[in-house]
Amino acid sequence: MIVNNTTGVGKSNIGQTIILQSTITCPLCQHEKQETMPTDACMYFYACEHCHQRLKPLQGDCCIFCSYGTVKCPPIQEVKPCCPIL
């Protein structure tokens, strides 16, 4: 994957545009924060910077971006298998 760090957008090996920025919303306090998604690993845990709640993926989702983000993780956007589903 080719990543443009300025725009937060990447290109897959087949030229598909992949969005790397996702806004995570804490289900407890509704705090929102934009984060850059990693392209080489899943994020299983995330600590809300406002209430410090530790988020983990919902059942059936592979990562916190798929559960709480505005954009699904890069592998899901590419219609590829992601990390093991929890």
What are 74's two structure tokens? 């890069």
Are 85 and 40 in contact by the 8 Å Cβ rule? The answer is: no
How much is the average pLDDT of 18-42?
A: 94
| Domain segments of the chain as ranges | 2-77
Question: Which of 43, 40, 21 has the alpha carbon at shortest distance from 32?
Answer: 21
* Assigned token pair, 25: 């919303």
Give the span between the Cα atoms of 33 and 20, in whole angstroms. 14
pLDDT, tens only, 39-74 = 878 899 999 999 999 999 999 999 999 999 999 999
**pLDDT value for 57:** 95
